[in-house]
Amino acid sequence: MNNPAARDHRRVPVPLLDLQAQYGSLEKEVMAEIKEVIDSQRFIMGPKVTALEESIAAYCQCEFGIGVSSGTDALLIALMALEIGPGDEVITTPYTFFATGGCIARVGARPIFCDIDPVSYNISPTGISSWIESNTDEENGRLVNRSTGGTVKALMPVHLFGQTADMGPILELAQRYDLRVIEDAAQAIGAEYTDGSRAGSMGDIGCFSFFPSKNLGAFGDGGMCTTKDADIAERLRVLRAHGSKPKYYHALIGGNFRLDALQAAILSVKLKYLDRWTEGRQKNATYYDAALSEIPGVLTTPSRTTGQRHIYNQYVMRVRDRDGLREHLSAANIGNEVYYPVPLHMQQCFSSLGYQPEDCPESARAARETIAIPIYPELDDDQKSSVVTALADYCS
């Protein structure tokens, strides 16, 4: 290029996420679907929900999809379907959205927090195995926590920020100790582990969220459970509608965990574009990776594990003076967020579990040092270069 000025970009404000940009291109198609549902006056279950369940199951390499009211309810109903309750314990990560640990406690079970791998931010399989080795005994086929007397029943890995947890060794542990596996795949629809398996297809149940800020977002709340097991699928379906089967006969106590037909119709439209959006997010991540690698020393860009498909629900960097960078970016009108400032083992509501910050030091450190920047697929060149310029200013 002989005119360097032509490459200069304007500095523009950049929101963390801009859902208007996506809606603009979908309005006609989505409104037609919404009208169809409204014209039918069929709002609860029905063909739109079934169609979405089938296409999400196929997208996630599963036989069955069960639409539910949110990602949180997907986790809750998964625990209920596997009969996890009082006296049971579930191993999970403390570095996640609250719902992961909250649902374990809500069914009356005890969350056991095992620390993360500091590079991927996902739960560390060696952390799980060393916790099991030093804290449990195998008694009559049960894995008993020596200090509480509770039975360890399940593992709940989270595929954080759009990249799957290290599922190979996690599934080996599950097999060795006869544990169930519930995948919190709320941030990872379409993500692939190194063997090509998609998030939500590797454990007993996969749990997805259609919260608007997820890669596949509804116009409100929604979620989905996926499974390859016909019996589990049937239990999930029954539990979703108050445990009723046939109608008004209750062998199980369930709840109202249904996905709205309107949301299902909207999501079916959006699912067609999901791979294109994922590619956009990956391209943005590649752009940031390259641009930020030229800024010396201060920022650690997110790792992309070789051979995995990372869907970049978030682009999360690590920086020593995170709060200083936050202030700088906000002053420059660059959207940013901290996922998450307080790890679950340090949340007040879990204080009775008796954790100290140093019990999961990498989670505590990640909570102090991480920051997310805009990664949504509709970012234009001016916006991306504005983000990088603001980061370069901070680092200089």
Ligand X SMILES: *Cc1c(COP(=O)(O)O)cnc(C)c1O
Residue 163 as a binder of ligand X (CB under 6 A): the answer is no
Q: Which residues contact 73 (CB under 8 A, 6 or more apart)?
A: 223, 255, 257
Residues 396 and 387: their CA atoms lie apart, in Å, by 14
Using an 8 Å Cβ cutoff, are 229 and 201 in contact? no
Question: Of the ranges 41-49, 64-72, 132-140, 169-177, which one interacts with ligand X (CB under 6 A)?
Answer: 64-72
* CB closest to ligand X, residue no: 71
Three-state DSSP state, 275: helix
Residue matched to tokens 């089938």: 54
Residues numbered 168 to 187 that lie near ligand X (CB under 6 A) are: 184, 186-187
Which residue from 53, 66, 70, 259 is in contact with ligand X, where contact means CB under 6 A? Answer: 70
Minimum Å distance from CB 303 to ligand X? 18
Strands 110-113 and 136-139: unpaired
What's the token pair of residue 49? 């929900």
Residue 158 as a binder of ligand X (CB under 6 A): the answer is yes
For helices 71-81 and 230-240, the axis angle rounded to 10 degrees is 120
Question: Of the ranges 92-100, 196-204, 253-261, 279-287, which one interacts with ligand X (CB under 6 A)?
Answer: 92-100
Three-state DSSP state, 81: helix
What's the token pair of residue 35? 């009208």
Considering beta carbons, is residue 71 or 206 the nearer one to ligand X? 71
Which residue from 100, 164, 201, 226 is in contact with ligand X, where contact means CB under 6 A? Answer: 100
Considering beta carbons, is residue 159 or 384 the nearer one to ligand X? 159
Question: Of the ranges 67-75, 229-237, 266-274, 341-349, which one interacts with ligand X (CB under 6 A)?
Answer: 67-75
Which residue from 30, 60, 84, 99 is in contact with ligand X, where contact means CB under 6 A? Answer: 99
Residue 97 as a binder of ligand X (CB under 6 A): the answer is yes
Max alpha carbon distance in the chain (Å)?
A: 77
Which residue from 120, 209, 215, 370 is in contact with ligand X, where contact means CB under 6 A? Answer: 209
Residue 113 as a binder of ligand X (CB under 6 A): the answer is no
Residues 226 and 63: their CA atoms lie apart, in Å, by 8
Minimum Å distance from CB 11 to ligand X? 31
Q: What is the DSSP string of 198-211?
A: BTTSSSSEEEEE--
Residue 374 as a binder of ligand X (CB under 6 A): the answer is no
Binding mask 224-263 for ligand X (x = CB under 6 A): ----------------------------------------
Q: What is the DSSP string of 266-304?
A: HHHHHHTTHHHHHHHHHHHHHHHHHHHHTS-SSEEPPP-
What's the token pair of residue 379? 């970012």
**377: closest CA among 270, 273, 313, 281?**
281
Residue 278 as a binder of ligand X (CB under 6 A): the answer is no
Residues 154 and 203: their CA atoms lie apart, in Å, by 10
What's the token pair of residue 386? 């504005």
Residue 120 as a binder of ligand X (CB under 6 A): the answer is no
Minimum Å distance from CB 213 to ligand X? 8
Residues 304 and 274: their CA atoms lie apart, in Å, by 20
Minimum Å distance from CB 94 to ligand X? 12
Question: Of the ranges 59-67, 97-105, 246-254, 270-278, which one interacts with ligand X (CB under 6 A)?
Answer: 97-105
Applying CB under 6 A, the residues found at the interface with ligand X are 70-72, 96-97, 99-100, 158, 184, 186-187, 209, 211, 221, 223
